[in-house]
Amino acid sequence: MRVIAVIIALFALIAPVQAQGLSDAQKKDVEALIGDYLRAHPEIILESVRAMQEREKTAQIKLQQDSLVSRRQEIEKDPASPVIGNPNGTVTVTEFFDYRCGYCKAVFPNVQQLLKDDPNVRYVMKELPILSPESHIAAKLALAVWKNEPKRYQELHTRLMSAQGDFSEKRIFAIAKEAGVDVERAKRGMDAPEIEQALNANMELAQALGITGTPGFVVGKQLAPGAIDYDTLKRFVAEARKGS
C-alpha cells in the first residue's frame, strides 16, 4: 500500500510537468529536480502516505457506522441466527465467532458470566467459520440443530466452544451426541440449502462491518473486533441500554 501511495504521489507531481509541452530534455531536467527534492525531503512522501491512510481509516469507520445502522435488522433479528440468553432482552449482543478460534474460546467465559449477571441480554450467535474445514462442519451442524432442535443449541454451543484439542469431524459429532442432539437428523439437516445461505449471509455481513477475524462483537452502536474483557463487554451493554 505504501509503495502504491508513493508511486501515486510521484505521478501527481510529474504528470503536470509532462503536460506542459516541454521538450524531452527539459522534462528530464525537471523530473531530475523533483527527484532530487524528494530525496532531500522524504518527509513529504511520508506525510502524503500518512494523510492517505488517515483518509482511508476515516472512510472505513464511516462505512462501518453506516452499516451498523442500515443493517441492524440482519445483525440482530435474522431468524437463521441462533439466540441465547433472554430472547426478549432489552439489549442485544451479536457475536461473530468460529469454533476453532482460540480467542473465541478465551472470551466465552465472559459471555457466560454476562448472561448469568444480566438476565435482560439477548445474545445473537453469528457463525463465521473461517479457520478450517472443521469450523465449517461445526457451524453447519450448529445451525442445523438450531433449525430442528433449538432447545439443544445452547448446550451444543457450550460444548463445542469448550472443546480443546482434537476437533475432527468425528469428535464434533461425538460432542453433539453428548449434548443430546439427534446426530443423524442433524447430519441430514446440515446439507439444507438454507444452512449454507445463512453462513454466506454471515460472511457478507461481517465484511460489510469490517470484521475480518473472530471474535467480533456488535453491541448497540459499538463494534469491537477481537477478544474483549468482561468489563468492556458489560460497559458496552450498559451504554447500549442507555441508548448512547
Query: Would you state the pLDDT for residue 1?
Result: 45
Query: Would you state the pLDDT for residue 25?
Result: 79
Query: Would you state the pLDDT for residue 14?
Result: 52
The string over 168-199, giving b where at least 16 C-beta atoms fall within 10 Å of a residue's C-beta and e elsewhere, is eeeebbebbeebebebeebeebbeeeebeebb
Query: Would you state the pLDDT for residue 34?
Result: 77
Phi, psi of 99 (to 5 degrees): -65, -15
| 3-state secondary structure (DSSP) of residue 212 | coil
Query: Would you state the pLDDT for residue 199?
Result: 97
Cβ distance 91 to 98 under 8 Å? no
Query: Would you state the pLDDT for residue 44?
Result: 74
The C-alpha cell 501527481 sits at 12
Extents of the domains making up the chain:
2-70, 81-242
Query: Would you state the pLDDT for residue 67?
Result: 67
Query: Would you state the pLDDT for residue 3?
Result: 42
- Assign residue 183 a region (left: φ > 0; alpha: ψ between -120 and 50; beta: otherwise): alpha
Query: Would you state the pLDDT for residue 147?
Result: 95
HEC per residue, 107-134: HHHHHHHHHHHCCCEEEEEEECCCCCHH
CATH superfamily of 81-242: Glutaredoxin (3.40.30.10)
d(C-alpha 30, C-alpha 172), whole Å: 67
| pLDDT of the chain, 244 residues: tens digit per residue | 444 444 445 545 555 545 556 677 777 877 787 777 778 877 777 777 777 767 666 556 666 676 677 889 999 999 999 999 999 999 999 999 999 999 999 999 999 999 999 999 999 999 999 999 999 999 999 999 999 999 999 999 999 999 999 899 999 999 999 999 999 999 999 999 999 999 999 999 999 998 989 999 999 888 988 899 999 999 999 999 998 5
